[in-house]
């Protein structure tokens, strides 16, 4: 099939295949998947400037499908998503400007690249360790319960009760999660830095607005540096720093990606970096993949989703290593 805008000739099945795989990853983990789609498009001969813009356009379509599916499952906190969008956009602009400034000053590619590799590998190792320890803790507790015959259900904390009563399907809408480092988000929730906001859909009674904006800003800076949506940073940050349940973090991240990637698509399209036909064909595969990925989250416990997430930051690190070695940048 010919794509006259980017001047390429690619088989539509190849594009649909990329879309399908990235769609499953996006629906399941709440990431854009540009670390996979970018190199795959580049390998098919798409010019680098079109790779970035086209990938963002395809992410918009895919994330709409996955976010809508997650919304039906009760996994999207729209209030949290809207707050995060402003922090992310500011972070993306800051990251992009900062890297331009640093490039003018000196050759900082290697320093920044190595820094990012360290951060990404650390995130991956930390998530792996935390989810493994949490799984062990859950297993130990289950064994103790079965040996003593304890089957009493856990009481619902009082701050959730009013919300649970007003909810049509409370069991689905608030998916609480377990973590061995749950004390960290609890400490962050106690930070009294006004204005404070309530996030009932995420099960958060009170949290400082600045904390949310800070987390989104850092994710945005990563996105500005590395390109793509940097979901491999934002999703774990939402879980470990904000204390958002894993399922809700996945859904809300997707909702946020719809808005920030739409903004990115517009700015790149004005600069002539988007081949929308390529994005539309890729999206036909991604639509079904995103549905499957989002549906799969129903069958997995939050801890297991986090454990399966471990390779993603490592792939991000792989992309940085590739950029450093070959000089090609996916941004």
Partner 1 sequence: MRNRVERLSQKIASLRWFLVELVVYAIFVVGYFFLVLHLLGDWLKQVFDENKNFYALVALALIIVQGVTLEVVTSALLRMIRRKVR
**What are the residues binding partner 1 (CB under 8 A)?**
1-5, 12, 16, 57-58, 60-65, 68-69, 262, 265-266, 269-272, 274, 276-277, 279-281, 283-284, 287-288, 291, 295
- Considering the complex, state which of residue 166 and residue 169 has its C-beta at the smaller distance from partner 1: 169
- Considering the complex, state which of residue 285 and residue 313 has its C-beta at the smaller distance from partner 1: 285
Rounded to the nearest whole angstrom, what is the least distance from the CB of residue 96 to partner 1 in the complex?
18
Rounded to the nearest whole angstrom, what is the least distance from the CB of residue 318 to partner 1 in the complex?
28
- Considering the complex, state which of residue 30 and residue 61 has its C-beta at the smaller distance from partner 1: 61
Q: Label residue 196 left, alpha or beta by phi (over 0 means left) and psi (-120 to 50 means alpha).
A: beta
Rounded to the nearest whole angstrom, what is the least distance from the CB of residue 167 to partner 1 in the complex?
23
Rounded to the nearest whole angstrom, what is the least distance from the CB of residue 291 to partner 1 in the complex?
5
**Burial class of residue 183 (count of CB atoms within 10 Å of its CB; 0-12, 13-18, 19+):** exposed
- Considering the complex, state which of residue 66 and residue 117 has its C-beta at the smaller distance from partner 1: 66
d(CA 221, CA 241): 17
Rounded to the nearest whole angstrom, what is the least distance from the CB of residue 87 to partner 1 in the complex?
22
DSSP character for 155?
P
Rounded to the nearest whole angstrom, what is the least distance from the CB of residue 285 to partner 1 in the complex?
8
Which is it for strands 2-3 and 8-9: parallel, antiparallel or unpaired? Answer: antiparallel
- Considering the complex, state which of residue 254 and residue 312 has its C-beta at the smaller distance from partner 1: 254
- Considering the complex, state which of residue 72 and residue 114 has its C-beta at the smaller distance from partner 1: 72
Q: Tokens at residue 204, please? A: 């958060």
Rounded to the nearest whole angstrom, what is the least distance from the CB of residue 270 to partner 1 in the complex?
5
Residue 16: CB atoms within 10 A of its CB come to 20
- Considering the complex, state which of residue 12 and residue 128 has its C-beta at the smaller distance from partner 1: 12
Cis bond before residue 195 (omega within 30° of 0) = yes
CA distances from 136 to 115, 297, 303 (A): 32, 21, 11
d(CA 322, CA 133): 32
Q: Is 237 in contact with 212 (CB distance < 8 Å)? A: no
Q: Is 298 in contact with 27 (CB distance < 8 Å)? A: no
CA distances from 135 to 123, 139, 219, 251, 301 (A): 18, 6, 27, 22, 10
Rounded to the nearest whole angstrom, what is the least distance from the CB of residue 4 to partner 1 in the complex?
4
d(CA 66, CA 251): 8
- Considering the complex, state which of residue 59 and residue 212 has its C-beta at the smaller distance from partner 1: 59
d(CA 165, CA 176): 16
């Amino acid at each position: 099939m010919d794509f006259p805008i980017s001047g390429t000739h690619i088989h539509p099945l190849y594009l649909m295949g990329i879309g399908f795989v990235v769609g499953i990853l996006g629906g399941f983990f709440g990431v854009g998947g540009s670390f996979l789609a970018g190199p795959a498009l580049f390998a098919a001969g798409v010019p680098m400037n079109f790779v970035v813009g086209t990938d963002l356009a395809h992410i918009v379509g895919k994330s709409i499908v996955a976010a809508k599916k997650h919304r039906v499952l009760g996994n999207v906190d729209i209030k949290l998503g809207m707050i995060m969008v402003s922090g992310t956009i500011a972070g993306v602009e800051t990251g992009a400007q900062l890297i331009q400034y640093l490039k003018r000053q000196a050759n900082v590619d290697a320093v920044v690249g190595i820094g990012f590799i360290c951060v990404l590998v650390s995130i991956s190792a930390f998530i792996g360790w935390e989810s493994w320890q949490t799984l062990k803790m859950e297993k130990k507790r289950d064994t103790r319960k079965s040996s003593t015959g304890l089957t009493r259900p856990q009481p619902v904390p009082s701050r959730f009760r009013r919300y649970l009563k007003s909810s049509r399907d409370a069991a689905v809408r608030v998916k609480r999660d377990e973590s061995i480092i749950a004390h960290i988000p609890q400490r962050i929730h106690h930070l009294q830095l006004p204005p404070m906001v309530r996030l009932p859909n995420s099960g958060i009674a009170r949290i400082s607005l600045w904390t949310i904006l800070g987390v989104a800003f850092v994710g945005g800076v990563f996105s500005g540096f590395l390109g793509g949506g940097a979901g491999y940073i934002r999703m774990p940050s939402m879980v470990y720093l904000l204390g958002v349940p894993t399922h809700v973090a996945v859904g809300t991240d997707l909702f946020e990606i719809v808005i920030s990637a739409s903004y990115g698509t517009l700015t790149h399209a004005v600069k002539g970096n988007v081949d929308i036909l390529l994005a539309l064909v890729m999206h036909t595969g991604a639509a079904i993949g995103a549905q499957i990925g989002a549906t799969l989250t129903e069958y997995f416990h939050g801890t297991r989703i986090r454990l399966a997430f471990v390779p993603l930051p490592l792939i991000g690190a792989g992309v940085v290593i590739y950029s450093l070695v070959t000089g090609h940048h996916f941004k």
